[in-house]
Amino acid sequence: MNDENIAGRIEQLVDEEHVLRTREENDSTNGEALAGDRERLAKVGVQLDRCWDLLRQRRARRNAGGDPDDTGVRDASTVEGYLQ
C-alpha cells in the first residue's frame, strides 16, 4: 500500500465518520440504532488511527533514508495505547 492509497482510505473513513455522526444525531431516539452507530463509529476511529500511524511510519522511514514499504500496519492495541 502506498501513501496515496493510505490517504485515500483515510478520506473514505473520514467521510464515513461524518455520515455516522449525522446518523447518530438522527438515531438519538432509537436506542438500538444509536448503539450500532456508536459501535461502528468507534471501529472507524480505530481504523483511522491505524491508517494515520502507518502513514507516519512510512514518512519517517522515508525521511530516515529507508524504504517505506518496510513498514506495516500495527495492531489496534498498540496504536490505541500511545500516550498523547
Q: Would residue 41 count as lying in a domain?
A: yes
Q: Would residue 82 count as lying in a domain?
A: no
71, 58 Cβ separation under 8 angstroms: yes
- Residue 83: pLDDT above 90? no
Q: Write the CB contacts of 62 (distance below 8 Å, at least 6 apart in sequence).
A: 68
40-55 pLDDT per residue, tens = 999 999 999 999 999 9
49, 70 Cβ separation under 8 angstroms: no
Q: Would residue 11 count as lying in a domain?
A: yes
- Residue 26: pLDDT above 80? no
pLDDT at 30: 79
pLDDT at 77: 92
Residue 84's pLDDT band, with cuts at 50, 70 and 90, is low
Q: Would residue 83 count as lying in a domain?
A: no
Domain range for residue 43?
3-73
Task: Please give the tally of structural domains in the chain.
Answer: 1
54, 71 Cβ separation under 8 angstroms: yes
Provide the 3-class DSSP secondary structure of residue 12. helix
